[in-house]
Amino acid sequence: MFELKKIIGRLDNVKSLQAFQIMRFGAVILTNILLAKSILSIDDIGIYETLIFLGTGISFFWVSGLLKGMLTSYPKLNEQEKQEFFFNVFLVFLGMSLLVTSVFYCFEQSIINGLTNHKYLPFYNLLCLYVLLNTPTFLVEYIYLLTNQPRQIVSFGIYAFGMYVLVVILPVLFGFGVKGALLGLITLAITKLGWTIVLLTQYARFRFNWTILRPYLWLSFPLVLNILVAGGAEYIDGIIIHRFFDSETFAIFRYGARELPLALALTTAFSTAMIPVVAEDLKTGLQSIKEQSATFVRWLFIISIALMLLAPILFPIVFNPDFKGSALIFNIYLLLLCSRVLFPQTILIGQEKTGIILWVALIELCINVGVSLILVQTMGLAGVAWATVIAFAAEKIMMISYNYFKLNIPLSAYLNIKMYSIYSLLLIASFFLSLRLF
């Protein structure tokens, strides 16, 4: 108990947001494992994954873009404006949720036919209700972050993601199938929405203010487009897989097409937490990125190398033998770590250079789609995975080049190049060694 209190006492915004992201990805992975070992068939799991895939696809880009826009806009406001800012952002999220979900519901058949290989997708209406209720709740951890409440971020994460596992798995175990899992998610979303409203009553002033909202939307718009284009590659990959393969193969791809959850959680949270620091003081921000990232980046490489070698053995055991083919996809995605631990985008967002991020994302998307369509013909699922690795590396190279040539910020200012090079080479070597195990 004493040690737990010491750990909680040392929490800061970076660590708490990293813990939150770890819980998020951990809950998803644990849920996938339990579903794979449940009474659900692989076809039922494929339907569930398709529903979650569609639900995330219609919201991830504008949610992430608007949240990142908050991090740059909020520090520049006075105390009264900050309170009004939270309420106005909530109105934006609520309005966008209603608009997007309405379109998603009204064009059900077109979306199913265009984005999947299904003629009919069961429980589509439940998915729409879940997206509508859950999307505004993404504000919670960011309100806690901006009001400097790291312990509350962790508390909310424990509740949200602990319950996520329970509300999905328990209905399945009691025989209610995919429908029961979705009803569980809807129930959880209602409680999280209540948490959001209570939080707003504590920290927000309920007054519409277009003067505050306009510059925030103007700043966020390029970020929304950037994330739509860059993050859209993952969903385009899913569409390509749906077009070339059946639902069972899609489930196999989805279970493998995941980066190391710890890596994605730590790097995403770190990059997010560093944006306000870079926005306030560039020199301090660069030094903080270089120093604070060094320790966890080293461990991410070590863990990834170990998993690279163990994945062919672990996947059939952790999931079930039907998912053995997911291991190769997973190992290819582990190579994304070489690009993931670079943070040029943090600098660009902090310095409000969001326009260049959009152009880079457009180029990345073209590379991803083009290479995917070429490689899927000869390499199958692995070809789509390799296209993602190639496109993501190209994105980071372009942003690093912009920082160097336009902003006079060399890579060495925010990265320990020697350490990075050694561990990247070791990770790549471990991939080729792992091929012998397939």
Q: Mind listing the pLDDT tens digit of every residue in the chain (438 residues)? A: 334 344 445 677 878 888 888 898 889 888 888 888 888 887 888 788 888 888 887 888 888 889 988 887 887 788 888 889 999 999 999 999 999 999 888 888 888 876 676 777 888 899 999 999 999 999 999 999 888 899 999 999 999 999 999 999 999 888 888 899 999 999 999 999 999 999 999 998 899 999 889 989 988 887 787 777 666 666 676 667 766 665 566 666 665 556 666 777 788 888 888 887 887 788 888 998 998 888 888 899 999 999 888 877 777 776 666 666 677 788 888 999 999 899 999 899 888 787 788 788 888 888 988 888 888 888 877 788 898 899 989 999 999 999 999 999 999 999 999 999 999 999 999 998 888 765
* 231 is a domain residue: no
Are 425 and 293 contained in the same domain? Answer: yes
| Cα–Cα distance measured from residue 26 to residue 13, given in angstroms and rounded to the nearest whole number | 20
* 184 is a domain residue: yes
Are 193 and 275 contained in the same domain? Answer: no
> Which of 173, 198, 221 is at the close of a domain?
221
pLDDT of residue 4: 38
* 367 is a domain residue: yes
Give the DSSP letter string of 258-319: ---HHHHHHHHHHHHHHHHHHHH-HHHHHHHHHHHHHHHHHHHHHHHHHHHHHHHHHHHHHS
Task: Pull the structure tokens for residue 323.
Answer: 């998912």
Task: Pull the structure tokens for residue 361.
Answer: 């994302």
* 247 is a domain residue: no
* 436 is a domain residue: yes
* 251 is a domain residue: no
> Which of 176, 199, 221 is at the close of a domain?
221
Are 199 and 74 contained in the same domain? Answer: yes
pTM above 0.85, yes or no: no
pLDDT of residue 354: 73
Are 312 and 434 contained in the same domain? Answer: yes
pLDDT of residue 166: 95
* 133 is a domain residue: yes
Are 172 and 125 contained in the same domain? Answer: yes
Are 320 and 203 contained in the same domain? Answer: no
Are 173 and 292 contained in the same domain? Answer: no
> Which of 193, 221, 249 is at the close of a domain?
221
Give the DSSP letter string of 184-204: HHHHHHHHHHHHHHHHHHHH-
C-alpha distances in angstroms, 204 versus 82, 355, 415? 8, 30, 38
Are 107 and 184 contained in the same domain? Answer: yes
* 298 is a domain residue: yes
Are 38 and 154 contained in the same domain? Answer: yes
Are 151 and 11 contained in the same domain? Answer: yes
Closest by Cα among 265, 223, 274, 364 to 22: 265
| Cα–Cα distance measured from residue 118 to residue 349, given in angstroms and rounded to the nearest whole number | 39
Whether 339 contacts 399, CB under 8 Å: no
Are 323 and 428 contained in the same domain? Answer: yes
Phi/psi region, residue 408 (left: phi>0; alpha: psi -120 to 50; beta: rest), is: left
Whether 411 contacts 417, CB under 8 Å: yes
The number of folded domains in the chain is 2
pLDDT of residue 5: 45
pLDDT of residue 64: 85
Are 374 and 284 contained in the same domain? Answer: yes
Residue ranges making up the domain that contains 50: 1-221
Task: Pull the structure tokens for residue 265.
Answer: 């959680």
